[in-house]
Structure 1
Amino acid sequence: MSVSTLSPPVGPHAGLSAALRLGAVHLRTRTPDQLAAFYEQVVGLTRLAPQAGRIVLGAGDKAIIVLEDAPDAVAPPARAPGLFHTAIRVPDRASLAVRMNVLRAHGVPFGASDHLVSEALYFDDPDGNGIEIYRDRPRAEWFGPDGTLQMATLRLDLTNLAAESTDLGPAPAGTDVGHVHLKVNDLAAAHRFWVELAGFDVMARYPGALFVSAGKYHHHLGLNVWHSQGTPRVPPNAGGLDRFDIALPASDLATLRQRFAAAGSTLAEEAGAVLLEDSAGNRARLSVLGVD
């Protein structure tokens, strides 16, 4: 796929700061133990402190995936809104090569792309949840002379990547959730919610997709209607994405509350955190950095 012409950041709100961080992605599943084994053996995560009704997996002390025990969960329709993929970011190219080695060792089919801003591997977990594992290129390489983000989908040279490492180890400390890519059912509605109200900046536009971020990161959220345009929300007992977590400065959270209030929207609150739900049913929990 050739390089696309992408828009520079836009948005009069100029909202969220570069301090924003994504936290864990919560998935509802009927088989948490079996799914946890996949995330341990293939993705390279480790189990963190046990919690009732859930399994928390991460790297170092950072939670990345939380598996919520949902005995009544049903598979969501393939074309429904929800999770497109969780993008797990590793700290360097050698760590990406290790994950490729593990995928091959376990016989897991995967795709691979060079996005110019990053290099990425793509595959699914046993429940059908999409996973991306990627490493960023240096930020100085992301933008063209006019300040436009240069992002594309090109072939990744796997032979060259394999030369970085022959190891089969776990995900290292420093691994985290770099972005979350969501399926939505109305791109204009998604723009109103995540950009105009939540405060993210548009970094790139593709046919049927928006990529938005804080602090000029290439994207913290992907939003697409490639297979989900006009489809209904999933039922309450659907498996897959339950929510994803965002941590941000207290001032950003206060401003976000003000924007929603000015738009006449009432936000759900939970122990000082804000719960957001877009029109497609995708949910996020926003809390102050450093506060659980």
Structure 2
Amino acid sequence: MSEARLDLGWVRVFEAVGRLGSLTAAAQELGLSQPAVSYTVRTLEQLLGATLLERGHRGSALSPAGERLHRAARAAVAELDAGARAVRRMSRRPVVRLFTDYGFASFWMMPRVAQFRQVRPDTEVHIIASAAADPGADEAEDVAVLFGARTDFGAGATQLFEERVFPVCSPHFAARHGLGENPDAAPGRLAGLPLLHLDSTPHPRWFTWRDWFAALDLAREPGAGDLSLNTYGLVVQAAIADQGVALGWAGLIDGALADGTLVAVGPALARPESGYWVRPGPEPSGPARELIDWILGEA
């Protein structure tokens, strides 16, 4: 004669009891009363004709029969929970997390988010920006766009654009200080003007004003009129507000140059092996790969 099938309402209760080793702890985790959990286990023991828990003053331990049944319950709960998560994901719009720094988020990504939405209206992009986005950090992102050198990234990263900087300021500031009159004299003239510094880390990976002047064989120490700011967005805003001259990063500052908000007032300094890189997460989803392809196409 075939055996009667068990009602599976006990599975999650027994899995919690065996995992926690306590009827009371299992009840608290499941939001049930301790008597209800105890009744479920006793009923299961009666149906199976076997002792599943060895009860003691310090809790409950699984008997050999209980250990065998708990392995099956644990596997069933894990499989059911995984299936439920998958079904929930199917009913939601896919979300792609993009980890980057404030500069890239503000000046490159945000102006283009609407364009990506037109291409993939069913995908949400969550931009996670940080002032100290480290290329060596193990962030739990789907896609990362980070600044660094080629050696900072593995084979899976692709360079978007190289590091290339040049002095920029507002048109009014340039006119007031005669920066557009003689381009050859610009480096020496800039040495006597207020400079805007990006000062967000003790050991910057990017070009600084010291690097720019050194490349032109000029010495220039920070002056009393200089201003240091901890995000690139503030540096650009200060330049637009006639506060001084900033280093403009090609790829980030292009829009401000195109609309005339800022003007270039000196030669460029480039470092091809450095710049912004796009890096996929450990297991990129289909929408994440589509976002990567779109970013590469835009850049």
Q: Looking at both structures, which has the greater relative contact order when contacts are Cα pairs under 8 Å and sequence separation is at least 6?
A: 1
Which TM-score applies when normalising by structure 1? 0.21
Larger Rg: 2
The structure with more strand, counted as a fraction of residues: 1
- Normalized against structure 2, the TM-score is what? 0.21
